[in-house]
Amino acid sequence: MITSRAFAGRRYAVLGLARSGLATVETLVASGAGVTAWDNREAARDEAMALNADIADPLEIDLVGFAGVVVSPGVPLNRHPIAAHAREAHVPVIGDVELFAEARADLPPHKVVGITGTNGKSTVTALVAHMLESAGVPALMGGNIGLPILSRDPLPEGGVYVLELSSYQIDLAHSLACDVAVLTNLTPDHLDRYDGFAGYAASKARLFSLQHRDQVAIVAVDDDPSRMIAGRINHRLHRVSAQDIDPADQARWPALQGPHNAQNAVCAIAVCRMLGLNDEEIERGLATYRALPHRMEWVGEAAGARWYNDSKATNAASAAPALAAFPPAPDQRLHWIAGGQAKGDGLSACRPWFGHVKRAYLIGEAVEAFAAEIGDAIPVDRAGDLVTAVAHAAAAAEPGDIVLLSPACASFDQFRDYEQRGDAFRDLVRALAGRASGDG
């Protein structure tokens, strides 16, 4: 784990004891800090006690003299009483990423890349880490992705920490000066936690205000709010755009298809150039990258078609970029599996891309609502469930076609979560491929 002398002799309160909360307790105790921890779940409190933390609710104790209250990013600071209670005691409310920032002085010399944005930040984070590792640079993903950053072993000298940062994590950081900071894009999101879109945008922009003058900002300027943020940055700034990517180059990167992945790729390329990778190393990383599970994940080929698992697209706005990724060539080639438990936003965000779809296979509770909304725009197969949808798509697909699971719905009507839905799809496709090759 990561520890630091900066915490020794100080006292912290930790509110919320899921994975990152327990990792925080362990780091602070191992660093010589005193910790008072709390979670509503008794089992979590028992785990913290086993790590030598005191157990008490930070809302019910005097916080004067504490070095910080460490909260999970899931704690809504605009509504939770801990914010006012800490403010009265003049104690900062921070997150585990801020503790990492404070521990950096004790780590071997390294770089930190911070990646934020409404969409694409997970992919850019994973892509940058992959490109660095494939070039022989020690790298570690953390923040909003993977294991808690404090639970990881420090990188050797020359390593790069690649952090995916939600707006909540930026809100909880005060000294995180990223060597390279990235904004992928900005659209309305999480407005229940902010004073409108302007408050949300200001949270993202803070990542750049925490940087020093010699550090680098990279902003994808494909949307107006991101362009506005770029216009206010007065240190080293690189503007990038999805338009900078040559389609002929992108065609060589199987896991990075579609306009949204052009933007992801151009952000990652800019980061890696700043970190000293050459063109050959960058190209190798892009060509060998495998998509994150359930995010436009190429599963393989079966029944003459290429199959993609985009189960994480749980609303229409998330599914739309996946449909956009497969235009007719020259005829429609896309078989779209959609449906599940609808979120009430319909398919309007997907409508501009209906012309890309050869046939839609509808599943789950949304079958009739989606069929009515699609109308005559696309041929519809009321498959009902994923097994049937995969079988029907396999029977209808022709060589060169694409079969895409991008449900535009939650999964809870038929699956535990989107991951179980994506795993089931992957298993069905691999069984198809196995039968075709005689392995079954």
Catalytic center residues: 121, 144, 190
In the numeric block, the tokens 């496709």 are attached to 429
**Within 13 A of 281's CA, how many CA atoms are on the CB side?**
20
Strand order across the beta sheet in which 54-55 lies = 54-55, 34-38, 11-15, 68-71, 93-94
Q: Give the integer Cα–Cα distance in Å for 262 and 249.
A: 10
C-alpha separations of 369 from 57, 166, 339, 343, 381 in Å: 46, 33, 9, 12, 13
DSSP 31: T
User: Which is it for strands 216-220 and 180-183: parallel, antiparallel or unpaired?
Assistant: parallel
Query: How much of the chain is in helix, strand and coil states, percent to nearest 5?
Result: 40, 20, 40
* Mutual angle of helices 196-209 and 224-231, in 10-degree steps: 40
Amino acid at 332: Q
Question: Per the structure block, which two tokens stand in for 116?
Answer: 């934020």
Q: Give the integer Cα–Cα distance in Å for 145 and 168.
A: 14
**Within 13 A of 256's CA, how many CA atoms are on the CB side?**
32
Cβ atoms of residues 50 and 179 within 8 Å: no
Residues ≥6 apart with Cβ < 8 Å to 30 = 1, 3
